[in-house]
Structure 1
Amino acid sequence: MRVLGIETSCDETGVAIYDRQQGLLSNQLYSQVKLHADYGGVVPELASRDHVRKTVPLIQEALAEAGLQASDIHGIAYTAGPGLVGALMVGATIGRALAYAWGIPAIGVHHMEGHLLAPMLEANPPAFPFVALLVSGSHTQLIAVTGIGEYQLLGESVDDAAGEAFDKTAKLLGLSYPGGPMLERLAQQGVPGRYKFPRPMTDCPGLEFSFSGLKTSVANTVVYTDANNYQTRADVARAFEEAVVETLMIKCRRALDLTGFQRLVMAGGVSANQLLRTSMDEMIRQRGGEAFYARPEFCTDNGAMTAYVGMVRLQVGTQASLAVTVRPRWPLEELLALDA
């Protein structure tokens, strides 16, 4: 089966083609970062309009890259949620219309299932069961995964997601949008130990997260320090990054203890953070387990993960009706499990 995947949930337009036998045949991505930079965040209406302009040309480029025609595609997968409703509608309507015109099935894919299964695109994919840490700009969740569609939410953020905290802290430090990657680069120049921020909700049991208080702690520190000094900002960035990473690591350790699983999967944009990866690698090595991540380009939103999930679900006969339906909010646990 060969599936065309379309991702338009937020501010990246992704189109990819995945073949069940050959793997990923093409992967096209357009980022709207420059479009939204002046506003310090994603403007939903601008994002939707840009998806309208970019999606069809990217589909044409993906087909050309793979050396395929429309008749070579057996199914279309599009991100149906969660995400920005207008942006989701663009990919869903284009995907559903093409599937109807080409006489092939279509399926709406859950965005977070795409992230969760992105490591399956690698040469050494994880086997079930595993604990998944989904960590992005909109989500911070720990999930027990025993199969495709077999997801048990163990804990999540009660306020800001980790990626959101990265972006907001970057803004406090005068960094431009998107702030997360820039904060990581700044933190590499920081002096360890000059500042110490709290590890929120780690002194109480449970697997919930909270990052708004950490962000406030950084804000208070910035007010009473020389925030115009480059080294000071780098030291603050490093302390913040270390606090987030240690908090995530403590919670992942608890989740592994709770489930008894030996495999940890990290996915989502923040999972590309190098300090987080090296810290998790060391933690899981000490436990005698294994850690799995997607390559950096598959950590952020992309069409490859959408195409892969679409292929997995389409090949067992699941498909969408002709009605175009998107879900800006969509709990992961509502997905149907697939037989092994």
Structure 2
Amino acid sequence: MKLFACPSCSQVVFFENVVCERCNHALGYEPESNVMLALEPADGGWASVGAKADDRPWRYCANYEHGVCNWLVPADGADGFCLACRHNLVVPNTADVANVELWRNMEVAKRRLFYSLIRLKLPLVTRAENPEGLGFEFLSEDPNADGHVMTGHDEGLITIALAEADDAERETRRTAMGEPYRTLLGHFRHEVGHWYWDRLVRDAGLLAPCRAVFGDDSQDYNEALQTHYANGPKPGWQNEFVSHYAAAHPWEDFAETWAHYLHITDTLDTGRAWGFKVDPRVDREDALTAEIDFNAYAASTPIESIVEAWIALAGALNALNRSMGAADAYPFVLSEAVIRKLAFIHDLVHGRVQADVAPTEPQVEPSEQAIA
């Protein structure tokens, strides 16, 4: 995530800001140009001012009125919802203040997901445009129904339980599931990975090269999940998979790896925006040394550069968290097999996977692959 500056006064501002604390201008994010605009009221909407000013009139996404979105749409356009919110199908009851607060947490995570998808120039299709388009339902628990709302994906429809937006409830579920990491943003990145498997692998005729990396997805999915939950993770899963859940089925392996690719690229983008350089004094062999001076979202950036920088940055983030008594920011290990899978995702999102070409092997030194 890049850092932004107020176009009116050059104050540093952040992705979720709606007002500049220095000059008091209203702020809104314009996703197609990836800029924050400073705004003043104008006839029929808002006018941009300052360094990013243009002649186009703007208005906020329709969900701005609920305090859950700060993205902009052209005032003369037909769609009242922004590029992210037009994918919403079911949202919480806005008459319930507690629901709106949870929904706001959902939207913060969802917009960070869309920031990455747009930066990577990935296809985005709504359910109105295609029956298997991408859509979101944020569902509350029904007190009259048995069981819980299940977070999941079904042919483009992504359901996320509203309870996941409550930190205490999500932590309870994380502990019960034996997971080292569980966040709203992680849910979004994982579930959208299933949709992109449909779009970029199945529909693009790339099943063979994907299966060469992730395994045979034609095996019975429900049976594989039942086996996973009944017997626990496969012994030695750490050598092949980024998480124990990834070992359940190739579809879950793909979605988990996809999510981690987005974790890595966006956090490196943040590190670059903040000018991070990791150079431990005791690191005599430069195994944990990196300067994030590249664009992790660019097609031209090699996966080797991304992985090597990530190993150093993740190690530093984990050490800082431990110094604060907090859990590791990235409690995972990147084995050689996982790095190969990340390389496949990197090539896939940039259109470099071909049906008749074997995946390339990323060249990362074995001694640099583990993240404690």
- Verify same fold: TM over 0.5: no
**TM-score, scaled relative to structure 2:** 0.25
Which of the pair is proportionally richer in helix? 1
TM-score, with normalisation over the residues of structure 1? 0.26
* Structure number, greater radius of gyration: 2
